[in-house]
Structure formats: C-alpha cells, structure tokens
A and B are shown apart, each in its own frame.
Chain A
Amino acid sequence: MIEVVKGTLVLAGALFMLLAALGILRLPDLLTRMHATTKAAALGVILIMLAVALHFAEVAVAARAFAIIIFVVMTAPVAAHVIGRAGYFVGSKLWSGTVKDELRPNYDPLTHELKSGMETQANAKREPKHNDPP
C-alpha cells in the first residue's frame, strides 16, 4: 500500500518537473515561461520530498524533507517575481496573444515611477520616500 503511494508521489513529481522543462521550451515569452518553471517545478519538488519522508519514515529525514519543502515554497515565488519583473522592465516582448496590459500605461520608464491608476488630485504629486536612492 505505502509502496503504491510512494511510487505515485515520485512519478507525479517527476511528471510535473517534465512539464516544467517542456514549458520552458514551448511557451512563447519570458513571463509565461516563468509560470511553467517555478510552479510546476516547486510542486514536483514538494511531491518528491513527501515521497522521501514516507520512504525513510524517520523523524530526522522527515524534518529535513519538510524543511526543503518550506525553503522551496519560500524562495521559488520570490525568484519568479524578481526575474519576471526585471525582464518586464528591461523590455522583453510580451507574446502576441497577450490580451491586456494594465501596467504599461502606469509606468514611466524615465523616472521608474509606477502609478496605481487610483490617484486623486491630492496624492498625484510624488513625495520623496525613505527608500529612494540618494
């Protein structure tokens, strides 16, 4: 019984990783590729680590497996966000099938100012912020 569960978990994890790899090759632009790689790969790692924890059935191994899961879950979205954001602002082209882009009109490439589109007269003026570069 437990063998079947382990086998299913490992296979499903490997399948999701394969999907991620195919996604990098097939998807048309940077942002959609980031979708495929980070999330499918993260889910793959999670499933394989669950299988590892089940297979060894020891507290020490299980604790490490869960630590790996937590680290992957914490770091994968940050990496995806940073790469996607950098790529977008550097000007990588979006796929021709992209239906809408609500960011572009709000972004000023000269000042790197990003508006929210919810400004009123009162807050439209830009105040200096504590995290501004000197």
Chain B
Amino acid sequence: MTGAIWNLLLGIAWVVLSGDFSGLNLVVGLVFGYITLVLIEPQVEALKGYPARIPRILRFLGFFIKELVQANLRVGFDILTPPWHMKPGVIAMPLEARTELEIAMVANLISLTPGTLSLDVSDDRKVLYIHAMFLDDEEELRRNLKEMESRALELFR
C-alpha cells in the first residue's frame, strides 16, 4: 500500500515538474516512479515486496483472460450444438480466503469465469458453494478453482 502511494506521488510530482498535464504524461511519470521504487527497494524497509507486485498482477491478468476466453468458447460450443454436453451441479469448495474482502474477490472472480457461478458462502465462511456447468472432471475443476483462488490471494497478501 505504501508503495502504491509513493508511486502515485512520484507520478504526480513528475507531471507537476514537467508542466505537461496530460494523461499520457502521468503514465510516463508512474512508470519512472515505479523504476525509482524498484531501484531503492533494497534500502527501504517499507517498500518490501512492492516491485514484485506489478509483474504478479500482470501475470494474473494474463492467466485470467486466458481462462475467460477458453471457458466462454466452451460454453458457447455447448449452446450451439443440439445435444447437451454439460453436466451441471453444485459443489462445495473449501475457502482459503479468510477476510470478507478476500472472500468477495474470490467469489467474484469465480463468478466471472464462465462455467462457474458462486452461489453462497456457508455461515461459518469456510465453504463457497459453486454452481459449475461442466462436472465431467470434478478433480480437474477443483484444481483449477484452487489455482485461481491462490493466485488471487497472492495479490492481496
């Protein structure tokens, strides 16, 4: 969090000092601010772990877009072809996420990938009930969901 604030401050400082108040220049300032933070990270305790965060977010975005398109195509194929290939069902997924915010994020991500829809969280917040469209290979699906959850949690922790 501290890292993000410093990055924003450095970006704004760049915009003010260079006197060019455009969105593009702010992006340039943010990039230079990020490079500065990466360079001084070993010396500043408060910035620990900040530089690793941005590649991690980018990798997560890539992974997520891949999942999104793949799963959408699969659902689309099943809609277009007359016999149903799907095997829908409700499964219970044990949650690693603990706080409300984490659970909300994980549930949203799961809802966003086609083929899975988060239905509800149990009262003790240990299990997320998910409606899945393709239960042919339940183990595989559970592994995918777990991977998505741990990757999403990495972004917060």
Contacts and interface: CB of A to CB of B under 8 A. Distances in A.
Interface of A: 16, 19, 22-23, 26-29, 31-32, 34-36, 38-40, 42-43, 59, 63, 73-74, 76-78, 80-81, 84-85, 88-89, 94-95, 97-104, 106, 113-119, 123, 126, 129
Majority secondary structure of chain A interface residues (helix, strand, loop or mixed): helix
B24 interface: yes
Contact of A36 (B22, B75, B109, B118): B75
Interface stretch (B37-45, B50-58, B82-90): B82-90
A43 B68 CA distance: 8
Contact of A113 (B76, B94, B107, B123): B123
Interface of B: 22-24, 68-69, 71-72, 75-76, 79-80, 84, 86-92, 94, 107-115, 117-124, 126-127, 129, 131, 133, 135
B135 A116 contact: no
A98 to B, nearest CB: 5
Contacts of A28: 84
11 contacts: A32-B86, A39-B71, A39-B114, A77-B108, A94-B88, A99-B135, A103-B90, A103-B119, A116-B124, A119-B124, A129-B123
Contacts, number: 142
Given A23-B79, A116-B127, A118-B94, A42 B88 contact: no
